[in-house]
């Protein structure tokens, strides 16, 4: 399910909740902005060291300052913005910069039965992913698992090799929807996710060949613990692979429904198969440097306008988050990227 659908469901449920509680927003209450270190300095301190995490946190404060250039933040009314800094998964294979997430919570103020209340529990939020080469990591079709088996284990099964093969295959993913370059160092995917990067570097993603992809997939299934899966799925994958000529195997892979098991083919109308590119990182910069960011910003501004109208009519505090996104000038965030 894409981000827009999730937001729509959230808006609808929240509107029903607010209507049932007969809440009234307080649009004139002066708001505050603060950056909160929720768990960041305790995140993987052994890997980065406290000085490195301290330096990164200072960088993230500057991110907060850049976000505050949004006109909505210049005279904050009706809500507080709590920008929480969280540590994130570190992929040592393709990582270098310290990964994190900044969660900008829009804590609106409202009246409930004459009492002034601040929305503190799971308020609407807008997130920025920092130093994560693949912000779509959790959405790929190759999220193969390698949980330790406990029954029906074939003879000769090697758990360590199977875990390694699962890690290898989780590195590849189909490009998540249509890609548009909408400015220097600004890409947009599926009309709603922005990636801001340094265009003077190696690309942050690189394509994967049919040969590479099938080698990874076949290896995973041939190493899996269940002999029936090894025989059945392994055979089907080898049969699919046999249908490609040697020259086709060296072409870049694309999403192709004609290969129902692997989903891999050479039809260029399908989305390309990619992997994160560790060569993108400038390792002359400290790991605390910010080298790539991504966030939600839909191309369809009429969608945001319609949401705001409905939210404001329903005294829905998600209005402020939507208004923030509508007012966002993504070009003001380009200077966040360290050169």
- In tens digits, the chain (339 residues) has pLDDT values of 555 555 555 545 554 444 445 678 999 999 999 999 877 767 777 778 888 888 988 999 999 999 999 999 988 999 999 999 988 766 666 788 899 999 999 999 999 888 999 999 899 999 999 999 988 877 778 888 889 999 889 999 999 999 999 999 999 999 999 999 999 999 999 999 999 999 999 999 999 999 999 999 999 999 999 999 999 999 999 999 999 999 999 999 999 988 999 999 999 999 999 999 999 999 999 999 999 999 999 999 999 999 999 999 888 999 999 999 999 999 999 999 998
Instruction: Decide: residue 54, CB within 10 A, 0-12 exposed, 13-18 middle, 19+ buried.
Output: middle
Q: Quick count: other Cβ atoms within 10 Å of Cβ 230?
A: 16
User: What value, to the nearest 5°, has the Cα angle with vertex 241 and ends 216 and 177?
Assistant: 65
Q: Give the predicted TM-score (pTM) of the model.
A: 0.87
By C-alpha distance, which of 124, 134, 129 is closest to 99? 129
Cβ proximity of 79 and 315 under 8 Å: no
Domain boundaries in the chain? 3-133+282-336, 141-175+205-276
């Amino acid at each position: 399910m894409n981000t827009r659908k999730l937001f729509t469901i959230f808006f609808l449920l929240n509107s029903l909740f607010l209507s049932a509680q007969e809440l009234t927003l307080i649009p004139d209450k002066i708001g505050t902005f603060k950056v909160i270190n929720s768990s960041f300095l305790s995140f993987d301190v052994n890997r980065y060291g406290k000085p490195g995490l301290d330096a990164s946190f200072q960088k993230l404060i500057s991110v907060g300052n850049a976000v505050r250039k949004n006109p909505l933040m210049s005279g904050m009314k009706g809500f507080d913005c709590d920008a929480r800094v969280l540590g994130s998964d570190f992929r040592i294979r393709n990582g270098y910069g310290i990964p994190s997430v900044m969660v900008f919570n829009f804590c609106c103020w409202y009246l409930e039965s004459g009492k002034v209340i601040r929305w503190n529990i799971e308020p609407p939020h807008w997130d920025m992913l920092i130093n994560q080469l693949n912000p779509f990591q959790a959405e790929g079709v190759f999220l193969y698992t390698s949980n330790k088996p406990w029954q029906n284990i074939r003879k000769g099964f090697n758990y360590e090799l199977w875990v390694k093969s699962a890690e290898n295959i989780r590195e590849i993913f189909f490009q998540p929807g249509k890609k548009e370059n909408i400015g220097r160092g600004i890409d947009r995917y599926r009309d709603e996710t922005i990636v801001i990067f340094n265009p003077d570097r190696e690309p942050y993603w690189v394509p994967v060949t049919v040969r590479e992809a099938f080698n990874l997939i076949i290896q995973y299934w041939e190493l899996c613990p269940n002999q029936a899966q090894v025989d059945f799925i392994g055979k089907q994958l080898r049969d699919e692979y046999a249908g490609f000529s040697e020259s086709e195997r060296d072409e870049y892979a694309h999403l192709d429904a004609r290969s129902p098991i692997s989903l891999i083919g050479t039809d260029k109308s399908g989305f390309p198969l990619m992997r994160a590119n560790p060569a993108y990182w400038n390792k002359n910069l400290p790991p605390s440097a910010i080298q790539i960011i991504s966030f939600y910003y839909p191309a369809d501004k009429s969608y945001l306008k319609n949401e705001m109208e409905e939210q404001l009519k329903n005294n829905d505090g998600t209005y402020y988050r939507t208004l923030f996104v509508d007012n966002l000038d993504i070009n003001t965030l380009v200077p966040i990227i360290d050169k």
